[in-house]
């Protein structure tokens, strides 16, 4: 999986970079509470999409969020905390100035 840095700390994944994403389709009977189905239908209509597209998109978003969370856990687990402490606590440098801004 490759991470694409878009600048300003924003990263993105292409669907093809996510292992569970593919272009093949399958069907699955889905049982929903009537109240949930009605709300999905209402929101899909307001969004200008079909019920199926709304549900498929919601599932894809949930899977992408879980994949992102797993990515950050993996990054956290291989962090070198001693190196971090050495960098943060090193001598020298200047404190931020009142007019310092992010570019």
pTM attached to this predicted model: 0.57
Please report the pLDDT score of residue 5 as a whole number: 56
pLDDT tens series, the chain, 103 aa: 455 556 655 556 565 656 655 667 788 888 999 999 999 999 999 999 999 999 999 999 999 999 999 999 999 999 999 999 998 888 887 788 888 887 7
Dmax over Cα atoms in the chain, in whole Å? 63
Rounded Cα gap, residues 71 and 73, in angstroms: 5
Please report the pLDDT score of residue 59 as a whole number: 94
Q: CB-based contacts of 44: which residues, under 8 Å, 6+ apart?
A: 50, 51, 53, 54
Helices 34-47 and 51-77 pack at an angle, to 10 degrees, of 100
Q: What is the 3-state secondary structure (H, E, C) of 18-76?
A: CCCCCCCCCCCCCCCCHHHHHHHHHHHHHHCCCHHHHHHHHHHHHHHHHHHHHHHHHHH
Q: Quick one: 98 exposed, middle or buried, by C-beta within 10 A (0-12, 13-18, 19+)?
A: exposed
């Amino acid at each position: 999986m490759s991470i694409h840095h878009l600048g300003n700390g924003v990263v993105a994944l292409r669907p093809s970079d996510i292992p569970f994403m593919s272009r093949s389709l399958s069907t699955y009977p889905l049982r929903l509470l009537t109240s949930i189905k009605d709300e999905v239908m209402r929101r899909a209509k307001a969004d200008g999409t079909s019920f199926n597209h709304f549900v498929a998109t919601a599932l894809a978003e949930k899977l992408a969020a879980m994949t992102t969370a797993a990515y950050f856990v993996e990054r956290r687990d291989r962090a070198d905390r001693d190196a971090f402490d050495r960098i943060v606590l090193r001598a020298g440098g200047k404190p931020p100035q009142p007019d310092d801004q992010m570019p």
